Amino acid sequence: MTRIGILTSGGDCPGLNAVIRGAVLKGRTVYDQEFVGFLDGWRGLVEGDAIPLDRSKVRGLSHQGGTILGTSRFGPYQGPDGGAQNIARTLERMGVDAVIAIGGEGTAAASKRLFEEGIRIVGVPKTIDNDLGRTDYTFGFDTAVEIATEAIDRLRTTGNSHKRCMVLEVMGREAGWIALHSGTAGGAHAILIPEQPESIEQICEWVTSVRDRGRAPMVVVAEGFTLPDMAEAYSDKGRDEFDRPRLGGIADVLAPMIEERTGIQTRATILGYIQRGGVPTAFDRVLATRLGMAVTDLVADEEWGHMVALHGTDIVRVGFDEALANHKRVPKDRYEEMRIIFG
């Protein structure tokens, strides 16, 4: 019997538990695979801290947000027990034959390095930002968009009541997918994304045009958006565990600028971690379950160094190197398609 260790690494997102459930149910039923769950991401793998995963443990998980295994920003090369050689010894001691790593770009990069150093590992892509290359969608993204769209709907009612301009900031780091999709769904009058800088003059022109029609302007901005004169995305929260700037706050920068230039009362709302919490949408539950089931096929076929991905409606297999080759950002034509109806 093949014994597989599952871990969830990096930021949490809705759908992680559905992946775990899908893997355990199919792996046990079809391949007679046995599962353990490493706790708190790579830390559990490095330190050999795991719990058994059977049908009773994953019962009813498809609708549950977060991850029952916990997650962290701990890396597999950290600490005295880190590194491929030490991890290999830990896996041998625990009787674990292979690892399924569920995570985003950082997790895929770490998995690729471990694979190249002899660890039998496969992956499942995860990020609400939808910015991983070689997969059309990642689970968690649809939930984040749904939450952001609901926020737009709610802000619109209070904006209309006070005749204010409302600026909603959403997540996405260097990718504007959440902003583009939620802004489109919510009928935003301007959508500002990292891939396409817009001047404050253009933003105010859109806002004024909306006000002149007797409407309350709604602006959706991605956290990584920059004005043309900004050298980098706005950050005043220091750096994260990967030495990346903690983004957030561009809405608080834009709101007073818009109010000063247009004379329209303007209020900013930063949605933040709400986008990553709560129960997954039906789409994300289905996608996560399918990916979890498909990754057990990768293990059975011993296609180490690969991850499962969504192409159209099909679940396919791609190498870690392919997945990391391109950072998926919003193409100019996709943005221009919606820009026509701003204002």
Query: Is 232 annotated among the ligand-binding residues?
Result: no
Nearest to 199 by CA among 176, 179, 228: 228
What does the alpha-carbon distance between residue 26 and residue 48 come to, in Å, rounded to a whole number?
25
- Rg for the chain (alpha carbons), in Å? 22
**Choice among 12, 49, 81, 129 that is catalytic:** 129
164 is annotated as contributing to ligand binding:
yes
273 annotated to bind ligand? yes
223 is in an annotated binding site: yes
| Residue 107 assigned to a binding site | yes
Residue 45 and residue 88 in contact, taking contact as beta carbons nearer than 8 Å: no
For the question of residue 314 being annotated catalytic, the response is no
**Residue 274 among known ligand-binding residues:** yes
334 is in an annotated binding site: no
Please give the backbone phi and psi of residue 300, each rounded to the nearest 5 degrees, phi first: -60, -35
Is 259 annotated among the ligand-binding residues? no
Which of 11, 36, 189 is CA-nearest to residue 100? 36
The answer on whether 211 is annotated among ligand-binding residues is no
Residues with Cβ within 8 Å of 151's Cβ and at least 6 positions away in sequence, in order, are 168, 182, 269, 271, 274
Half-sphere exposure of 195 (CA within 13 A, CB side): 20
Q: Is 234 marked as binding a ligand? A: no
- The reply, when asked if residue 104 is annotated as ligand binding, is yes
Distance CA 33, CA 31 (A): 5
CA distances from 177 to 22, 195, 288 (A): 27, 10, 19
307 three-state secondary structure: strand
Residue 267 among known ligand-binding residues: yes
Binding residue numbers for ATP:
11, 73-74, 104-107
Active site residues: 129
Binding residue numbers for Mg(2+):
105
Binding residue numbers:
11, 73-74, 104-107, 127-129, 164, 171-173, 223, 267, 273-276
Binding residue numbers for substrate:
127-129, 164, 171-173, 223, 267, 273-276
